[in-house]
């Protein structure tokens, strides 16, 4: 499946499906990066994780033509995970 096909399918997912996909994608990414997963585990029921994902989705939908640099994304992740 191409990235374009994946991106097209993302638009069809519900918020809950996007959350699940995000958490599973992060877990897979961390496994492939061979990073100690203990410090990066997340619980699908963690209200902080869900709130951060909702905020990210809201901002992405409000600004469909604006992307973020890697540094901006990293700064936001640091802010979310440090709360």
Mean confidence (pLDDT) of the chain: 75
Domain of 67 in residue numbering reads as 3-81
User: Is the Cα torsion angle 25, 28, 30, 32 positive or negative in sign?
Assistant: negative
Count the domains in the chain: 1
Q: How far apart are CA 11 and CA 14, in angstroms?
A: 8
Q: Note the pTM of the prediction, 2 decimals.
A: 0.41
3-state secondary structure of 66: coil
Q: Torsion-angle region of residue 2: left (phi > 0), alpha (psi -120 to 50) or beta?
A: beta
pLDDT in tens, 5-44: 888 888 898 888 888 888 888 888 877 776 555 555 667 6
Name 76's Cβ contacts closer than 8 Å, sequence gap at least 6. 56, 68
Farthest CA pair distance, the chain: 37
Give pLDDT, residue 3.
83
pLDDT in tens, 30-39: 777 765 555 5
């Amino acid at each position: 499946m191409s990235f374009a096909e994946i991106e097209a399918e993302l638009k069809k997912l519900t918020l809950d499906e996007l959350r699940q996909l995000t958490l599973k994608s992060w877990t897979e990414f961390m496994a492939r990066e061979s990073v100690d997963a203990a410090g990066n585990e997340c619980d699908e029921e963690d209200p902080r994780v869900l709130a951060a994902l909702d905020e990210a989705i809201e901002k992405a939908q409000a600004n469909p033509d604006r992307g973020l640099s890697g540094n901006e994304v990293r700064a936001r992740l640091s802010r979310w995970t440090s709360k």
